[in-house]
Structure 1
Amino acid sequence: MNELLPLIPVLDQYKSDARLILKLKEEVRNLSVVLLGIQEEMGAYDYEELQHRVMLLEQRLHACMQKLGCGKLTGISNPFTVRASGSRFGAWMTDTLASSTENRVGGPDPDWNHQE
């Protein structure tokens, strides 16, 4: 039995190291949970997830464009100035298919659309 006495401090150190390892494992587990939460909050994704999100956003964009579309672009002319007391928002355009003698100007405000 006396031969085993020198092993007691080694065994105590082993127990202490084992407790420390268990404590460190628990801290790593907790840290992993926190990091996962941060990753989800910040939106960090792998390549496949990002590619899927881009595809979904493109689909939403195309669906939105279908709803907002008002026709096809038929032509582009030189810019011109429109001065009026009507709405100050929106885009102003002329009908490129109308005859050149007709000076109709259109805009987003139905009260303002008129003949010049």
Structure 2
Amino acid sequence: SPPVSLQAIRCTLVNCTCECFQPGKIHLRTCDQCKHGWVAHALDKLSTQHLYHPTQVEIVQSNVVFDISSLMLYGTQAVPVRLKILLDRLFSVLKQEEVLHILHGLGWTLRDYVRGYILQVGGSQGYDRSS
């Protein structure tokens, strides 16, 4: 099941009445209710207060970084290098415990994130968290 902070996120697609993202059993990033993707739902959390305004000093808050990180990391097992560079820059201004909390909430360990992918053992046996 998704982390508590990811529950009850409505779909943002036009004419979709889905009020709560339900991860699919096979495809975690597809909603079982409306069949739309995770990003279409996650955009509901990215309100206009998160948008950058050139006249303001840029302040990075961990909840905003969580929302952005969830678009890239939730339900995935690898992160493309260019997106990882962007996340690295966001994470660099947070405290380490905030970064660890974000990663854990999205199903990643720090070691997996640094590696760029979640290491698996034998395909369907689960994740190897010890390496």
TM-score range, shorter chain: under 0.3
TM-score computed with the length of structure 1 as normaliser: 0.18
Whichever structure has more helix as a proportion of its residues is: 1
TM-score computed with the length of structure 2 as normaliser: 0.17
Look at both structures and tell me which one has the larger radius of gyration over its CA atoms.
1
Which one scores higher on RCO, CA 8 angstroms, separation ≥ 6? Answer: 2
